[in-house]
Amino acid sequence: MTPERYEKIRRVLSRRQPTLTVLMDEVNKPHNFSAILRTCDAVGVLTAHAVPPKSGALPTFDATSGSAHKWVGVVKHPDALGAVRQLQAQDVQVLATHLSQRSLDYREPDYTRPTCVLLGAEKWGVSDEAAEAADANIVIPMFGMVQSLNVSVAAATILFEAQRQRLAAGMYATPQLAPAELERLAFEWAYPDLAPGYRERGEPYPALDEAGQLRR
Ligand SMILES: C[S@@+](CC[C@H](N)C(=O)[O-])C[C@H]1O[C@@H](n2cnc3c(N)ncnc32)[C@H](O)[C@@H]1O
């Protein structure tokens, strides 16, 4: 661990947005899944949510992710409706990307609030029941011959609007993670091979000095 690498880890963690996330509902193509996680990393999403496709497993990561899958956690859910309700119970507004009578332009919602963007499967989109349960439905206006965007493009468009609003609100200027959580993640990111051992033994992580070296 070089001091420069540790400094980068702390800088990235100090900009993570634990109150911004996505829920991928049966996004089944590895290049889409990977591209969405890469955008999540870029805008500071700490943890993404996903309902695996009917085949059972989450898509594997491919080169499209860069190394984003190492820096963005993925929580699995058995179904989208249950996941929507769980997030709402934690006071997260769920914005379903879905064309309906009540759809808003994607730039209208307040993304400085705890927010989850619900993204649909490539073939079927977001289910009607999950869209109805969501707090709002949002769309990216389209004026072409084709009816929809690629899901990873839609995710990037919306997440960068969230980033724009959060930058304007100063949410990248001060850490959004609690100090203890930031320290915990800094150790896990700096020492991914050591961290599991400490967890298995139920021991607290050791303190690191300012350069990210283990204190003796
Ligand atoms: C290829 S589209 C799904 C098309 C599907 N046939 C349908 O009717 O919804 C895959 C996903 O990309 C996102 N998406 C695509 N175009 C969008 C748009 N214009 N506005 C918002 N989200 C969009 C949504 O999450 C959508 O579920």
Average pLDDT, the chain: 94
Q: By alpha-carbon position, which residue is closest to atom 15 of ligand 1?
A: 149
50 assigned to a ligand binding site? no
108 assigned to a ligand binding site? no
What DSSP element (H or E) covers 20? strand 20-25
Bridge partners for 97 per DSSP: 138
Residue 68's pLDDT band (cuts 50, 70, 90) = confident
- Any idea what DSSP says for residue 135? S
**Distance separating alpha carbons of residues 16 and 75, to the nearest angstrom:** 17
**pTM to 2 decimal places:** 0.95
**Distance separating alpha carbons of residues 81 and 87, to the nearest angstrom:** 10
Tell me whether residue 196 is exposed, middle or buried, using C-beta atoms within 10 angstroms of its C-beta: 0 to 12, 13 to 18, 19 or more.
exposed
71 assigned to a ligand binding site? no
| Ligand 1 centroid, distance to 149 Cα (angstroms) | 6
SS3 label, residue 115: strand
- Predicted ipTM > 0.90: yes
User: Helices 179-190 and 3-13 meet at what angle, rounded to 10?
Assistant: 140
Q: Give the number of other Cβ atoms within 10 Å of residue 88's Cβ.
A: 15
| Ligand 1 centroid, distance to 177 Cα (angstroms) | 31
User: Can you read off the two tokens belonging to residue 180?
Assistant: 């203890």
Residue pointed to by tokens 């990977």? 34
What is the predicted pLDDT for the residue at 55?
75
Which residues make Cβ contacts (< 8 Å) with residue 145, sequence separation at least 6?
none
**Distance separating alpha carbons of residues 120 and 65, to the nearest angstrom:** 19
Dump pLDDT digits (tens) for 10-34: 999 999 999 999 999 999 999 999 9
What is the predicted pLDDT for the residue at 69?
79
Q: Is the CB of 45 under 6 A from ligand 1?
A: no
